[in-house]
Structure 1
Amino acid sequence: MYADTSTLPLARPTIPATLPIAAVILWLGALFASATPWLNQLDPIAILSAFWTFNPDQYASVLAHYSWAPRVSIAMLIGCGLGLAGAVTQQILGNPLASPTTLGVEAGGQFGVTVATLFAPGLLAFSPDLAAIGGGLLAIGLVIALTWRLGFSPVTVILAGLVITFFLGAMNMAFLLLKGEWLGNLYIWGAGSLVQNNWGPFMDLWPRVLVLAILMLLLMRPLQLLQLGQASASSLGARVGLIRVLALLLVVLMSTTVVSRVGVVAFIGLAAPVLARLLGARTLGSRLLWSTVMGGGLLLLADTLAHWASTWGDGSLVPTGTTTALIGGPVILLALQGLRNTHHMPGQESSPAGFQPKRRSPVIISGVIVTLLLATIVISMGWSPGLDGWNWTPISQWHEAWVWRGPRLLAATLAGVALGLAGTLIQRMTGNPMGSPEMLGISGGAALVMVMIVLSGLEVGRAGQLGAATLGAAAALGLLILLARKHRFAGNQLLLGGLALYVFMDAGLRLVMASGGTVAAQLLNWMYGSTWLTSENEAFGLMAFIVLICGLLCLVVRPLTLLPLGDTSASALGLPVAKARLLLLLVAAVLTASATVVIGPLSFVGLIAPHLARVLGQQTVGRQMIVAALVGGLLLAAADYLSRIVVYPGQLPAGLLAALVGGVYFLWGLSRHGRA
């Protein structure tokens, strides 16, 4: 919790002068920056009066009154509401990284609106709030169900919330790719836009935000008791469970009400309380007040930056969700530096005597997996739906079917092999069984570079994409290692740091969704693993590259075996630890980049494959790498086939299908750890 009663100061904490000064600077700076484009058209008095009146004979005055002033007002209103919701969430869970975004509430709200748009449009006509609230309650319910056995362990709650965010985002993207003609405008909205053309949305929203804020403040005294701990609060007559449920319900209502109107403006609910705390807000009352104030200023500033970027660019919309997501990554990293977690990571045992699966012969296990992989290849090449129903393609005609089915199947299989190897390297090197290229942000680094290349219009070819993606993956991994050194590469810091890096990729994704057009559609298809874009030459080139890297992996078996013994022991046995870590990082980055170019950045295969290899009884480094590679190839080969037939004649990206399955697997792992 936030406070320890044994060390409470005798005097009430005072608010340092830096806090109100910073708030005033933030608000005045954001307001001035927002009003700057109007200074050459209107005088300061006219700009200020645009909030309540306008001059009908002056077009700039009319535009300011009906466009600029409502946008500024709704930014401040929503920012204040999300800042307050974030502070309440952190108080409920005793978690400095909790917020509606990191708990999946905002993604759940967007998911609810998406489902209602497709299957119950009448509900949206009645009230868009109901669909968003239903999705938000679904997301927060999943988080609570997965983590309550751990007493809402800070790291585990955030991991569950962010993975649920990714999972629901993948579901949203599946709907977008399948029903793009119905949902295109919805996802431009979902990227988070505060553009206004009248005062209607603000006038409709402010009473709701005010009522919810008052109800949250009425819970302030019961929330204060939570600082004493659950046992002490209960002994004082507080019904802790009821307080938490009521407060979380208000948080969901506040967040989803905002989402249903302006889309996802992520991380304001996290950034505002963290900033207030860093500037000296100590008591609950001061945190609630200053988080509210900081939230309004931060969102106004972020929206102003988004407006400037739209104006200075090629005229395409830069959503406010992009700029707020860019704020969220550094805030998570900043808050992470002071985080103390008293619980073990999911998958880590509290004692060395953890569960060890029975050792099995690698020859038998590998033979079974290879048999399944060959069966998958045969079925994928031969048994498929067509215009006249399901039919079997004879082997004599496979050379004709190869053009349509072969390259994508080969590329998916090879990407699975690369991710299985990369995941094993990362889990062994960090000693963290929940580490993977996806969860550590390595895939996100590669994807972010790819997004920048595509949006810039550069034609670099597949080789150039691979090189750029490798640099992005290596940069993300290097930055993550630098950030985690302070905590001696502890698993929780690595995972949260990696997820923070992934936030930047999310900002790029929101920018792409808002831009629209064919380039956006192609990039979104690639980002979720559309293997149908792969040519025969690219597939064979990837095969040659993977074979070359696999040959180099023979050199890393000994370092991976010695590094878990500790730096001192490994050095005493003659291993140059620093050089070994650098080599492993580079190999993992190259493998991840090669797979990301083909299958996209979010498949979770790098997490699942090493786990399954260990479950199948392969404990030594070499055996685990071989089996993990085969399992990865089998998983993505099956995902590619299923993505081709599940919604025939439509297609789902194989990486998206793998991400949905992988997200379920990760959440199952969290719940299994809770039961243990």
Structure 2
Amino acid sequence: MWFCALIATASPWFGELSPLDLLAAFWTYNGEQYSSVLAHFSWAPRVSIALLIGCGLGLAGAVTQQVLGNPLASPTTLGVEAGGQFGVTVATLFAPALLTFSPDLAAVAGGLLAIGLVVALTWRLGFSPVTVILAGLVITFFMGALNMAFLLLKGEWLGNLFIWGAGSLVQNNWDPFLDLWPRVLAIGFALVLLMRPLQLLQLGQASASALGARVALVRIIALFLVVLMSATVVSRVGVVAFVGLAAPVLARLLGARTLAQKLIWSSLLGSGLLLLADTLAQWASTWGNGSLVPTGTTTALIGGPIILLALHSVRNTHHMPGQDSSPAGFVPVRRSTLIAASVIGALLLAIFILSMSWSPGLTQWNWTPVSEWGEAWVWRGPRLLAAILAGVALGLAGTLIQRMTSNAMASPEILGISGGAALVMVVLILTGTELGRAGQLTAATVGATGALGLLILLARKHRFAGNQLLLGGLALYVFMDAGLRLVMASGGSVATRLLNWMYGSTWLVSEHEAIALLALILALCAGLFLVVRPLTILPMGDTTASSLGLSVGRSRLILLMLAALLTAAATIVIGPLSFVGLIAPHLARVLGQQTVGRQLVVAALAGGLLLAIADYLSRTVIFPNQLPAGLLAALVGGIYFLWGLSRHGRS
């Protein structure tokens, strides 16, 4: 891998410099030859920093997996890299002097916050792989939403920061490498010193403690060093995703068994992988007429396949978060569906009236009488109607998915279906294809359908079980993440427009689109009457469901298709990133709706209410500016997810 990476990165120079001159470029140059100067100050430091960073991230990933006993753990999947970028963003806005002193401090603080949340939420659940990955993914979503909020509000100050955050190894001198290598070497040496206590963790917590290991202290120190390593890299070159996951997985697949073998081979493989990914990014930039393709994009592209390879190593999945291994000891009191639906319906009507009537003007807040609603409808009506309908669709889809997977913490967004629609939109924007609004909606539908088909292929051999569906959805999210990084690197108005849609900008919706969404959701709701029985039986387990005459695989496939269509219908209108599909079914359950039909009705109304409120607030909170409604919903939904996961941990 090293040989291929070095040959690939050196090949564009063979026509200008001899192999010996190219090798000499690492320590000297010929001042009278431009190619020699360029190789010494640009190519050689870029190769060196790629090898250095890849080695550090590979080592950090191997230690993370050893500490948590989790083959899917890495600084990326635990949210450390997103937390590091969040720390730098906050420091840029509110404490720029801190960055002048040291950019590492802000990145380390953000990384510690992210991994601290993951550890706190999953400690009581034994760090089960699926739980840890879900918690890390949602924290990544949440911190990404905060980053986007800052970008949309303060874009004139943060635009270049987010271009950097896409992950670029471009160098123009040796200073960054010379500044970074002592830090990586010192942190790597400290991680190696922990090898003996880390080896004891393989025996289990009880056995390791009996042999004198202070398990909690070892875990805290090791994770702190992992955060230091990852945040130091993020603060220098941006988010270079999934190297810390890919290298340890490949090391295991190639036969590394002992901890020493895993650490050594993960470090070497990390260097080779990152150099190959960076070379691919350089080639792609050349093919794209010189427009920058960040290294973060090409490294993210390897994350999806690596996660799928790693799934073969997952053994300790335990139960899913929200899915008890024994019958529940407490069932909420059932309440009248009519009363719950009436209350939510009244609130929805009140929000509709408020949104149409009470809004800020240029000088003060104004009340629009009913007689003038016709004029106001053009500006407020379609977006409000689309928000309500999208909330209804996501509420129904979330209920289907949670019932189907017996996982109260699942949501349509995590399945990656909305990510498929987003990825197609990214491609259309970057290629400059002008299809018009109808063409964009059609393309997004094709993307969501393609993601659904891929998800079905991934989960079919597991009979569409919950763990495989959610982890397959994580793999699909990785590809969307790669596209997002490419957009962030492009910068400009194109990136801003796409990001507005990604986070649910309802102001893009026309009246025709809102009406079309209404017709589609009504048609899909008609099919929900046929799935009440399968949704009631599936949570009893595959064996019981089969004995009652239910075709488990076929039922899950039909349910998945319905959920995907509902999610895609909402996504193509308001964007992919929202947690309404998680919150609405929970609200229905809290309101005492335990049976399938009752929960579907109340969850649909609750979803519509949530997005109607989000749309009104997004239009008025920072008037005359606006925030995407989906962004507000994602922030609230992320907090709700983390709170719900912590409750399951305590129980």
| Distance in 2 (alpha carbons) for counterparts of 1:348 and 1:354 | 13
Please report how far the alpha carbon of residue 584 of structure 1 lies from its aligned counterpart in structure 2 after TM superposition: 3.0
Match of 1:124 in 2: 99
Q: 1:56 aligns with which of 31, 37, 54?
A: 31
Give the secondary-structure state (helix, strand or coil) at the position aligned to 1:391: strand
What is the deviation of 1:57? 1.4
Q: 1:287 to 1:199 in 2, by over 3 A?
A: same
Cα RMSD (Å) of the superposition?
1.8
Letter in 2 for 1:607: L
Q: Contact between 1:346 and 1:669, CA under 8 Å: does it hold in 2? A: no
Provide the secondary structure at the position in 2 that maps to 1:261. Answer: helix
Q: Does 1:367 align with 2:342?
A: yes
Could you list the runs of 5+ residues in structure 1 that have no partner in the other structure?
A: 1-25
C-alpha offsets along residues 220-278 of structure 1, whole Å, 9 cap, x if unaligned? 11211222222222222222222111111111111101000000001111111111111
The 1:229–1:568 alpha-carbon spacing in structure 2 relative to 1, beyond 3 Å, is closer
CA distance in 1, matches of 2:586, 2:70: 29
For 2:330 and 2:420, how far apart are their aligned partners in 1? Answer: 34
Match of 2:487 among 504, 507, 512: 512
Classify 1:580/1:247 alpha carbon distance in 2 versus 1 (closer, same or farther; 3 Å): closer
Following superposition, the deviation at residue 552 of structure 1 comes to 3.4
Q: Distance in 1 between matches of 2:542 and 2:80?
A: 41
Question: Distance in 2 between the 1:505 and 1:535 partners?
Answer: 26
Matched, 1:161 2:166: no
Whether 1:336 and 2:311 are equivalent positions in the alignment is yes
Q: Deviations over 1:624-661 (max 9, x none)?
A: 21111111100100011111122222211100110111
Structure 2 length-normalised TM: 0.96
Measured against aligned partners, the alpha-carbon deviations of 1:332-380 in whole angstroms (never above 9, x if no partner) come to 1111122012532111012133532222221111111110001111111
Change over 3 Å in CA distance of 1:620–1:460 after alignment to 2: farther
Deviations 1:484-542 (A, max 9, x none): 34444432332222112111111111111111122221111100101111122222222
Query: How do 1:385-424 and structure 2 match up within 5 A?
Result: 385-424=360-399
Helix, strand or coil for the counterpart of 2:359? strand
CA distance in 2, matches of 1:214, 1:62: 34
- Residues 100 and 573 of structure 1, relative CA distance in 2, 3 Å threshold: closer
Alpha-carbon distance, 1:543 to partner: 2.0
CA displacement at 1:671 relative to structure 2 = 0.3
> Shift of the alpha carbon at 1:665?
0.9
**Structure 1 residues 264 and 431: CA distance shift in structure 2, 3 A:** same
> Hey, what's the Cα distance between the residues in 1 that align with 2:90 and 2:605?
37
Note the alpha carbon deviations across 1:83-119, whole angstroms, 9 max, x for none: 1111111111111111111111111110000000000
Is contact 2:423–2:483 with CA below 8 Å preserved after alignment? yes
Indicate if the aligned counterparts of 1:474 and 1:585 stay in contact, CA closer than 8 A. Answer: no
**Counterpart residue type for residue 218 of structure 1:** L
Q: What is the one-letter code of the residue matched to 1:331?
A: I
Any conservation in 2 of the 1:268–1:295 contact (CA below 8 Å)?
Answer: yes
Distance 1:528 1:378 in 2: 25
Q: Which residue of 1 aligns with 2:617?
A: 642
- The separation in 1 between residues aligned to 2:441 and 2:537, in whole angstroms, is 31
- 1:434 CA displacement: 2.5
Matched, 1:223 2:223: no
Letter in 1 for 2:334: R
Query: How do 1:139-538 residues align onto structure 2 when only pairs under 5 Å count?
Result: 139-341=114-316, 343-538=318-513
Distance 1:286 1:256, change over 3 A: same
SS at 1:650 equivalent: coil
1:573 positional shift? 6.2
Could you tell me how far 1:563 is from its partner in structure 2? Answer: 4.5
- 1:180 and 1:517 map into 2 onto residues whose CA distance is 10
C-alpha contact (below 8 Å) 1:470/1:589 kept by paired residues: no
Q: Which moved more, 1:350-359 or 1:316-325?
A: 350-359
Amino acid corresponding to residue 604 of structure 2 in structure 1: A
Cα distance between partner residues in 2 of 1:569 and 1:141: 40
SS in 2 for 1:338: coil
Deviation at 1:400, TM superposition (A): 2.5
Distance 1:114 1:313, change over 3 A: same
Does residue 1:33 correspond to 2:16, yes or no?
no
Report SS of the residue matched to 1:439. helix
Compared CA separation, residues 72 and 136, structure 1 to 2 (3 A): same
Aligned partner of residue 360 in structure 2, secondary structure: strand
User: Does the C-alpha gap of structure 1 residues 379 and 151 become closer, same or farther in structure 2, counting only changes over 3 Å?
Assistant: same
Structure 1 contact 385–645 (Cα < 8 Å) conserved: yes
Q: Cα deviation per residue 1:141-178 (whole Å; 9 max; x = unaligned)? A: 11121111223222222221121111101100110011
Q: Which amino acid aligns with 1:427?
A: Q
Q: Which amino acid aligns with 1:339?
A: V
1:231/1:147 CA distance change after superposition, 3 Å: same
Size of the alignment, in residue pairs? 651
Residue 97 in structure 1 maps to residue 81 in structure 2 = no
Q: 1:434 to 1:324 in 2, by over 3 A?
A: same
Gaps of 5+ in 2: none
* Identity rate, percent: 79
Opposite residue 123 of structure 2, the aligned amino acid is W
Q: Distance in 1 between matches of 2:540 and 2:299?
A: 42
Give me the whole-angstrom Cα distance separating, in 2, the residues matched to 1:561 and 1:267: 39
Q: 1:236 to 1:555 in 2, by over 3 A?
A: closer
Q: Give me the whole-angstrom Cα distance separating, in 1, the residues matched to 2:253 and 2:99.
A: 40
**d(CA) in 2 for partners of 1:28 and 1:464?**
45
Give the AA of the match of 1:128: P
- Using the size of structure 1 for normalisation, the TM-score is 0.93
**Structure 1 residues 208 and 369, CA, compared in 2 at 3 Å: closer, same or farther?**
same
2:426–2:483: 8 Å Cα contact kept in structure 1? yes
C-alpha displacement of 1:28: 0.6
The answer to whether 1:591 aligns with 2:566 is: yes
Are positions 1:78 and 2:53 aligned together? yes
> Could you tell me whether the CA contact under 8 Å between 2:124 and 2:650 is conserved in 1?
yes
